[in-house]
Amino acid sequence: MTDSFDLSVVDWSKAQFALTAMYHWIFVPLTLGLGFIIAFMETLYVKTGDEEWKRITKFWMTLFGINFAIGVATGIILEFEFGTNWSNYSWFVGDIFGAPLAIEGIMAFFMETTFIAVMFFGWNKVSKKFHLLSTWLVAIGANLSALWILVANAWMQYPAGMHFNPDSARNEMLNFWDVLFSPVAINKFLHTISSGFLLASAFVVGISAWYLLKNRHTLLAKRSIIIASVFGLLSSIFVGLTGDGSAYQVSQKQPMKLAAMEGLYQGKEGVGLVIIGAPNPSKTYNDDKDAYLFKIEVPKMLSILGYHDKDAFVPGIKDIIEGGYTYKNKDGQEVVAPSAAQKIEKGKLAIQALADYKTASDSGNKEMMAYHKKILDENFEYFGYGYIKDVTSLIPKVPLVFYSFRIMVGVGLLFIVFFALVLYLVVEKDIAQKRWLLRASILMIPMAYIASQAGWIVAEVGRQPWVIQDILPTVAAVSRIGVGAVQVTFFLFFAIFTTLLIAELKIMFKQIKNGPKEGGH
């Protein structure tokens, strides 16, 4: 797969995919959470018959619709890029990766598009209960869409429920349920959707705070703040709990990502968690320079979070590259970690065994086919390492992952305090008089988006250079196309997505400025 070609195609393809994914993720989390907030509001309308709740529901529903439409457009382009820029990847694992995407399109997306029409245009045309059901199904459908996408992403981080077929040179699914219910998939889904709930709650609280500052639509604002702050507080706590589960899975399945998150170069027992620090930008894995310019840490906390043992050994970047430490494999057995160089040799053996198997197959030599397949099976878990030329390419960009992780965690903890304070003041006090908090609430909207984007940087940059962990690196997954074509589409997509974002913001700001329509009809 790595015959001579312009390696800048890899960088430009990665940049294009990152651009598309990050723009797409501007729209998705708001949809995930706002759908449920709208459903809660309409439930109160149906239960109480209060027309003000209907007016509130319709206002937030309009903002949901604007965001939903643009999110769909960017999502479609993102899926097309697997075929245009990552065709080797699509061939290699299409039988597995395509399954959750197909289910997402057939079940979740169609459920959304079917009932969203009723949700927007069915007022006074269908019964209240059927309209409410449609609203709930749209909210559930949006999150089911996220489920299947996140299952596919989690499989790339931790490939499970599959085997490699040397006859087709493709990975094939063995057990769908192992793919769906892998611990990585479960944690990724719960952590991601709850972060979307948090973001949507911050969005509703911030806009409602703006109305209170302007002394407009005060009843709508206060009611919206109550719903969003309760939902946001519960979501922010759940984000923390699922984040702990995600950290544990990373430590078990992707130790290099954990080491990059912490800027940990030299492993040891009872490792502390760095709260505030600055990694040394000139540090390399095999020199004697200090890993940090400065740091403040909680003793033993990383060992607790990563291994649920305060004295557990946490491997650093140097340990992972050089091997020699012990860890538990997939079967729970204590084994000695091979070095990166040993993994590369095993990967080369696997790649050569596949080529030899194909040669034996073409000549009809079944005995040699069995022999080479045995070698392939024994070394396949390191198949992707056979394409690695330099062990340093196995190390992610440590400062970027390190700082992104702290932004994500720090802002997440801040939101627990923020929602608790907002909920207390809106229920027990007159929040309209706390103008400093109302202004801060508006600023919390971009903070939520920054934390959300930082989380994806940790997840995706932290696992580089892998498209599929240990099995397929980016250099072997990319399409063999001219770099010029990728550059042109990169800047074209950048212009299109930026235009869409500006258009959405203008429409959103205009809608917010106009406010809800008077009356509930």
Distance between CA atoms of residues 518 and 520, nearest Å: 7
SS3 annotation, 333-389:
CEEECCCHHHHHHHHHHHHHHHHHHHHHHHHCCHHHHHHHHHHHHHHHHHHHHHHCC
Sequence letter at residue 71: G
SS3 301: helix
pLDDT computed for residue 109 by the predictor = 67
Tell me if the bond preceding 29 is cis, omega within 30° of 0.
no
* pTM of the predicted protein model: 0.91
User: DSSP characters for 256-283?
Assistant: HHHHHHHT--S-EESPPEEEEEEE-TT-
Q: What one-character DSSP code corresponds to residue 474?
A: H
Which tens digit of pLDDT belongs to each residue from 52-80?
A: 999 999 999 999 988 887 887 777 788 78
Which tens digit of pLDDT belongs to each residue from 471-490?
A: 999 999 998 888 999 999 99
Other CB atoms within a 10 A radius of the CB of residue 16 amount to: 21
Sequence letter at residue 187: N
- For 80, the token pair is 């097309």
The CA-based diameter of the chain, rounded to the nearest angstrom, is 84
Residues with pLDDT less than 70, the chain: 1-5, 107-109, 518-521
Distance between CA atoms of residues 91 and 394, nearest Å: 24
pLDDT computed for residue 4 by the predictor = 52
Average pLDDT, the chain: 90
pLDDT computed for residue 352 by the predictor = 95
The beta strands (E) that lie in 99-229 are given as: 162-165, 170-173
